[in-house]
Amino acid sequence: MPNANDMRWFKEQFGGKIKAGLVGTPYSLDLMTALACQETGEVWPILRKTNLSLDQILELCVGDSIDFNPATGTGRKAFPRNKADLVAVPNGQRMFDIARQGLVDMAQFITSYKGAASNPNKFCHGFGIFQYDLQFFKDVDPDYFLEKRYANFDACLQKALEELRSATKKIGFQNKPQLTDQEMAFVAIAYNTGGFNPAKGLKQGFRPRDKNGNPVGLFYGEQIFQFIQTSKTVTIDNQVGPASTTTDPTGPLFKVASTDPLRLRSESLKDQNNPNSNVIAKLPNGQVVRAITNEVVNGFLEVETDFEGRHFRGFASAEFLKPV
């Protein structure tokens, strides 16, 4: 799981290019950081600690080996479902060789892929640090894969922004000049799945499963929302991203666990006659906050968070905060 140090490295390497590319869009550096963490966070945080060059790291940001089982009909449904699907189309064998070698080379560093790499018919279908799926090889942009453009950060960023714009339009946000953190997470869900169901909120998209096929962990939407919140606490020397005012940057993270918006107050007290008298923000369920002192006073915990484009510091009822 990528952490704040990984995010700091990502922003140091790519923050300038991302900020330039985001001009005129409703997206943020924190969204792009979260997207990279979500899509290839099992790869580059490990590779960055090796002696590989940045170009080599980007080229090895591949993943999601094909898992279609023809006997049961389960697994991947999109093209290509298996090697036969891929080699049957123009330049398919060449693409298979690239996708296969990418898996083998990446698995030398990422042990969780060694099993897949040991199968000569397995190959990757996700390419680039933001992951562009091989389903688009057949009819949309075969040269992006054949020419390994995904190994170039500028090309990879451009492709990701194209997909984000498409996802934004699909869910009806195309006319919004700004997006909240939650709305950006909704866009990311559409980026991942191709659609979005408002009734399900953040509980959409890929969800990990254990070896028995039982769902474990967070949905894609929930996880990327948390990544966005963590990214907002991460700054680098040239202040890429919003500055944090946390007195303890390693303070524990909590998330709001309340069906109703949680009142963030300017003081650690509540006026029974006027319960909204010192409310400075109302935080939605799932909003991530960071503790300042981690000491409960009058039932309140002093926290800070970024919400709807603003930084807040105040007191929230500890009863409705759950450790992340």
Q: Within this chain, do residues 37 and 107 fall inside the same structural domain, yes or no?
A: yes
Q: Within this chain, do residues 190 and 71 fall inside the same structural domain, yes or no?
A: yes
244 has pLDDT over 60 = no
Q: Is residue 285 classed as helix, strand or coil in its secondary structure?
A: coil
Cα 72 off chain centre by: 31
137: containing domain: 4-231
CATH number, domain with residue 270: 2.30.30.40
pTM, whole model, 2 decimals?
A: 0.72
pLDDT at 241: 37
189 has pLDDT over 60 = yes
Tens-place pLDDT, residues 59-106: 999 987 766 566 666 566 778 888 989 999 999 999 999 999 999 999
Q: How many domains does the chain have?
A: 2
Report the alpha-carbon distance of residue 307 to residue 310 in Å, rounded. Answer: 5
Report the alpha-carbon distance of residue 29 to residue 123 in Å, rounded. Answer: 31
Q: Is residue 240 part of a domain?
A: no
Question: Which CA distances in Å does 281 have to 36, 58, 168, 276?
Answer: 29, 40, 27, 10
Residue with tokens 């499963």: 209
Q: Within this chain, do residues 147 and 194 fall inside the same structural domain, yes or no?
A: yes
Smallest CA-to-CA distance from 309 within 179, 161, 174 is with 179
Question: Which CA distances in Å does 204 have to 52, 223, 304?
Answer: 35, 10, 27
Tens-place pLDDT, residues 129-184: 999 999 999 989 999 999 999 999 999 999 999 999 999 999 999 998 889 999 99
Both tokens of 268, joined, read 């650690």
pLDDT at 186: 95
Q: Is residue 241 part of a domain?
A: no
Q: Give backbone dihedrals phi and psi of 200, rounded to 5 degrees, phi first.
A: -95, -10
pLDDT at 81: 84
